[in-house]
Structure 1
Amino acid sequence: MYLPVVLTVLGLWSVTGEKNDFTINGVELKALPSIELRNGDRLELQCVMLVAKTTDFTLNSTFIFYMGEDQIKTSHSINDQASYVIPKVRVSHTGQYKCEVQVGNKKQQSEEIGIRVTGLAPPVLNVSKDEVSEGDEVTVRCEAPGEWAYKKFTFYKVNQKKDEKKTKQTDENYGEVKFLIKEGEEILRFKCDVKMFIIDETSQASAMKTVTVVAPFSVPRIEVLPSLNFTEGVNMSVKCSFQEGRKRSDDIKLILQKNGHIISSSTTNTLSYYQVATVEESGNYTCKVESQTTSKINNTRIDVAELFPKPRLTLERFGRTPYINEGDEITLRCWVDGLAPEDSNRLEYKFILNGGKRSSTRRGGRFTIAADVRFSGSYVCQVTRDNITKISAPLDVQIYAPVKNPVLTHIMRSNKTVVLGDTLELTCKCESGTPPITYSLLRGDKLLDNKTMEGDMEARFLVNSSKSHDLGQYRCRATNRNTKSSGKYSNTVNVTVIVPVSAVQLTMIPPDGDVEEGAQLALVCRAQDGTLPITFQFYRRRGNELLLHNVSEAAARHASHTVQLFSKQEDGAYFCAASNRAHKEVRSSSSEARAVLATWKKAVIGIFVILVILAAIAICIYLHTDKKKKKGTDISSEKKRSSKPSPPKKASVELKAGEPYMGGADNEDELHILKAAEDTSGNNQHNHEVQQTEADHPGPEAHPDAMEDKVNREDPPPGVLVGTTSPLSRP
């Protein structure tokens, strides 16, 4: 395993030596014995390297052989050549070959040579079964040993009746196909050949393989009695049978067909079909035996002569219109062509309506009735002779019943009203009358709509009540083919259209909403339009809505409500709502109402204010008079003091702790006025008397200077501004 590596390393060392040098002059590929070979010959490919050296030293070379572009062999050698041997060549070895020599970092390829191998050997054939049954499948395998090139296998099934061929292309050395064993095949032979596309050569056929076919059942047999040709009226029988093979299948089924339709079947070996023969029994009969994989059939034809032809049925009538009306007399006539009159009269004729719902037996072939809608339908005539019954072709008879007075119905809603803008729904239907029936809707004498109804269906009319004049009397008219043009009229339906309430307005008295306490607030709610009666509701909103009054008016579109003894508790926003049978409530805008003082309360307050004003005036007059008296007394005292030295005046009034400085106390009169304004009216009178006494009888301390000092030491009363001239104290 390591020898090639070691040799390569040694070779590289020797090559890289300074004294040992070489060059590859060429590479040649030889085919021995020749490039033209037969299938199975020996082929040797020699790859020869032409090399020049400086000295005689050993080179370790790698030889690579190629077929086309595929590498097929690699060998290492210290010689100048290497070989690739194929002991037995095949056609698949045909192609272009070359070789390559690698020494150290040098490499060189030879020229390509073409090898051609001919003489393709016959393929080998195998089959999956030697004995098969009809319907089985046989797998056929064709092999070309040693051949791998792309090829086509052709398979042949050799039959006594007709050969069958299949092909398959592949690059494998074998191919497989399946052949179905068909009915009637007994001994089969299979063979195959192969064609190589690489040389366009087809081999000889393979050896033949034989396969024996074993039938699971025989071809069925048909027996017809009394014969294949006879006259109707006799009993006929058809018998179908087959024989089983030695390889019986459990899924075998026997089927009898007539003109492509199955009339009987069985899982046994035999089936029989019995029938009283009529001309309808003529036809092609097929007996078929089948399994899941194969089948066999046998055919025959039976011809039955006609005893008498089918009867014919016609209608005779004497009406004036193209349609048969109720009450018209009609006659159904049935006869058989080719029979003498006396023979026809002896036959029994049966008239059948709608598949047997009604039937009647008559002699002579005539059936006369008074037309009634109940007798409309499909009629056939049935005639029996010598156990043979024949039925005529169907005849449709349509009897028209005139329409009766229709019924017009108003489809009411749950509220039993029709509101302006809603859709008015009316239905019209006749209890009897042959369709098609045309219904016409009228309002008064005006035609609104027409509808033609097929079958027993009502006509439905939709009228949009977009205007108030859509109210009125509605009726419908019904006509059909045999009714006169005037038709039949329904009952009358009176329709009233309800106009919804609109434009609701609330009026208040007084209009400004200021209501004296104890007075009345009058509310009037009015609707501009709407069908009477109208329900009015009065509300007050103060946080929540409170219903005050509910009244229904049948004669007017307005209503009123009075709130008695109005007070502050009745303050709020007032509004009203109106509705009628349209069940659409419309609300007005809201208006505010407030309680104000009554007139007598205002008068009492006014009188009280006047009295207060008069009292204030009186106090002012009194104070003014008192001031004048004090001023005279002060003048006389000043004259007495002028002869005596007066002590120095204090610069300002002494302030108590925490009291603000309010100005000087030089004006004695102001201090007296402020003092008087602080007291009540009773105290004012008492103080006045005290001051008067002190003025008339001055004591030792009544000296003007002493009085001035006294006034300066006294604190001003609370709430009085020192130095002001207003005679009034705080309220």
Structure 2
Amino acid sequence: MRATRTCLLLLFLLFLFTCTEAQSEFIIKSVKLFVHPAKEVERGTNLTLTCNAQVSHTGGRLPQYTYNFYKNFERKALHIQKMDAVEQVNFSIPNARAFDSGIYRCELVIEQQNLKSQTESVKVKGLQVPELIVDKQRVSEGESVSATCRAEEEKGSLQFSFKDGTNEVHRESSEIGHVQTILTFHSARIARLSCLYLINQLESNISNVVTVEVQELDIRPTITFQPSTEVIEGDTVQIFCRVDSKFQNSTFSLKLIKGKDLLKPDMKNSNYSKVVQATDTGEYECSATMNSVIKTDAQNLTVKELFSKPILTITPVGVFEGQPFTVTCKSSDFASERISRDQVKYSILMNGQSVTLGAFNGEYNATASTQTNGNYTCNAQANNILKQSQLQIFKAKMLVSKPIIEVVDKVVLDRPFKIHCRSEYGSFPINYTLIRNQKPLNQILSRHETDHAFFSAVISTKEEIQDYKCISQNSQNSPPLMSDALSAPVIVPVKKVSLVVLPGPDQVIEATDVYLICNAGIGTPPISFNWYRLGSNRTLMSKTVQANNSAHQLPKVSSKDSGTYYCEAYNNGIEHSQSDKVTFTVRMAHWKIGIIATVCLLLLTLSVVFLLKYRSKRGGVAHFGSRKKNLTNGAQIISLLEQATVTPAQF
């Protein structure tokens, strides 16, 4: 028992040693792809793609190698092969075909590592010539054959093309190497059928050519007219479509067609009858369809007019309200072998209502007014044939109203301005004439509402504005109408501007108010005034007033207000007119002058007293002559002081 346990323990330890054997470390150094026998081979060659890898490792147990082969950069592997640490694997392509052409590469995957080889382009030359087989080679029009195109030695998706001569008649893809289709023939001939296929943008040679004889289907329709193919309006015409009696029990259709119109879808057992008009002239076609084959027979039917389409005329052209006009309706031609001219009856309609009840001579007379405006047509009728003329719109023209004359913008003396002549109503064209003092100056023809009559004019005095009038006329049969005289405000440009200073320039005293009065000798209010001081870049004041003058106040002036001033004035005439420049100096106030004089006198008196006192102390009474001299000098000083004494008014 103890020996058994010892044996089991040894086996367990051996198992652990085996399981814990260190796994080899590795790196994929390179992967290369080789193509044998060559990269370009003929069809049917056995190709071998060899993927060769170099792997470095540390020894020990290596994981499984997985080789993937790819074609044309597809994500999904074309071939996968798993091996135990083998560094070369082959992928065989036996009996290669064009389908096997492409760009190949291989890849080695070991656990989380992978490396792809370079790409190699493989080209397999040559394609199998396809074979065409048909189930029958003689058919009638409208019948079909079964055609099969084979190229079963090729692999992959083949796109087959069937041709009838040089025209492709069918195209279809197949993965099984052949395609079968049904070909139908619609015309009698010898058909030459062939096929080919495409793969990898390569086109095969053309197959064998198979001829198919297509015999004509002898069903032939015929078309006849009764009583004739040349008739007159109002006649009843019957049209018959027939086929050979041997086809009566066959499946076919018979139709009557005129141009794009299917007149009758089933003509097998009936005919087509109609009372014809001139518009029924044309080619009629009998069409028989059998087994998708169409056979036709056609003839022309000529329908002569019983009478021509009536023509509506309105005279005279350009009728004004209040003038007479005439509407006439006539047919120029008629079939004299059937009817006379008098048998054609006419009726004239306005807005769908007859205006000639009981009269059939095709003439309507009326006086133009708003009630006669409308859409006019006329009908001509004979032998149950009715024809209508083309529609004409009649609208009586309206005589022009008395014109209105007005200015477009402002009127400024001696400047060009525009005059607008217009009428509130009247049919175009309207002729406008501008006159001055009854003399025509210019004419303008207004052809529509947006075509305005503008005239240019100039006046030099305000009274001349009333010299202008305009005349309007839109009918030679009516006299022209004259407007009232033109009336509009006239702007006289500002001129003769002057500046007045109050008080006068020589009487401006500080601390008083000065008024700069700007006056426009000529000009139409409102007038704008600007005041300026010479040497300053800014405007002192701007005013617009309904007068020819305005004042700017300089309150409580001082010496800094001394200077040169001027003003300018302008109105809607735009021109600015400037005054002359006026200069004034602000003088000192009178009371200041009196104070200064009093102070000066007081200072002078004090100076004299001080001088006399000073000298009296210095000389004493010792020298009589000197004293006398001093007294004389003192008397002179007192005299000077008396002369210097003035009142403030003297300043």
TM-score of the aligned structures, taking structure 2 as reference length:
0.50
**Largest Rg, 1 or 2:** 1
TM-score of the aligned structures, taking structure 1 as reference length:
0.45
